Amino acid sequence: MTGVVTLDLRQERRQIDARLRRLGQPQGVSLVLQRTINRVLPSVRSAAAKAVAAEIGAPQKFTRAAQRLRRASRRQLSGALQGDLKRIPLIAFAARQTRDGVSYQIGKQGRQTLAHAYIQTGNSSGQRNVFLRARGDDVFSATGQMLSAGESSGLVGRYPTLIKYGPSVARVLLQDAVQRIMSTTARARWDREIEAQLRFYLEKQGISVDG
């Protein structure tokens, strides 16, 4: 799943193409557009990380780490911001141990409690997480996958606890409010960056942009 910001670059491409042709540099269009796209993408990622964090109530370090950039190339003048499908650990949502389990808060839903859960540092990972012990009739394979009743005959549960998770960044990136923030950021940064990259390219060719 991907959080996608789409910019229609046809008009910009025509304008840059016309300007560079007048200067005898039509071959520079793709390079200018590629560099502009790749300079805009990190700003969109930062804005998205902040927006997603505000939406779900998780620290930005989690929402930023769950995003990947697909950068533009000379042959493919497009880029994308991709959200990880893997869900964020529940410990990130202000999780606190209580007498009844673990309380947490996702977004504006108010604090909720996961009964019988507990917070513990994992032996192998060394990371604090929220765990929930499996029910007595749950059976797990050697990889920790819960098996159905038909599959579980003769097996003994080997992983009696499960790490609990909240929502994924990929799902939240597709929300309208987050998409609007990403699009607004992309357009504002684009208008500044395209001129800077055009100037940079022309100066590298020894052409005065003020002359």
Tell me the three state secondary structure of residue 40.
helix
Contacts (Cβ under 8 Å, ≥6 apart) of 152: 139
CB-side neighbour CA atoms (13 Å) of 41: 20
Structure confidence at residue 42 (pLDDT):
94
Low-confidence ranges of the chain (pLDDT < 70): 1-8, 134-160, 209-211
Structure confidence at residue 39 (pLDDT):
94
CB-side neighbour CA atoms (13 Å) of 45: 23
Structure confidence at residue 3 (pLDDT):
53
- In the block, residue with structure tokens 């960044």: 169
Strands in 117-121's sheet, in edge-to-edge order, are: 117-121, 128-133, 161-163
Q: Which residues, listed in sequence order, are joined to residue 118 by a DSSP beta bridge?
A: 131
- Where does 128-175 have alpha helices with state H? 169-173
63-76: b or e for each residue (b if 16 or more CB lie within 10 Å)?
Answer: bbebbeeeebeeee
- Judge contact between 102 and 95, C-beta under 8 A: yes
Interatomic CA distance for residues 204 and 196, integer angstroms: 12
- In the block, residue with structure tokens 């990947």: 68
Interatomic CA distance for residues 44 and 64, integer angstroms: 11
Query: Can you read off the two tokens belonging to residue 132?
Result: 């929930």
Structure confidence at residue 7 (pLDDT):
63
Any idea what DSSP says for residue 23? T
Q: Which residues, listed in sequence order, are joined to residue 140 by a DSSP beta bridge?
A: 146
Structure confidence at residue 4 (pLDDT):
58
Please tell me the pTM assigned to this model: 0.75
Interatomic CA distance for residues 96 and 103, integer angstroms: 5
Contacts (Cβ under 8 Å, ≥6 apart) of 203: 209
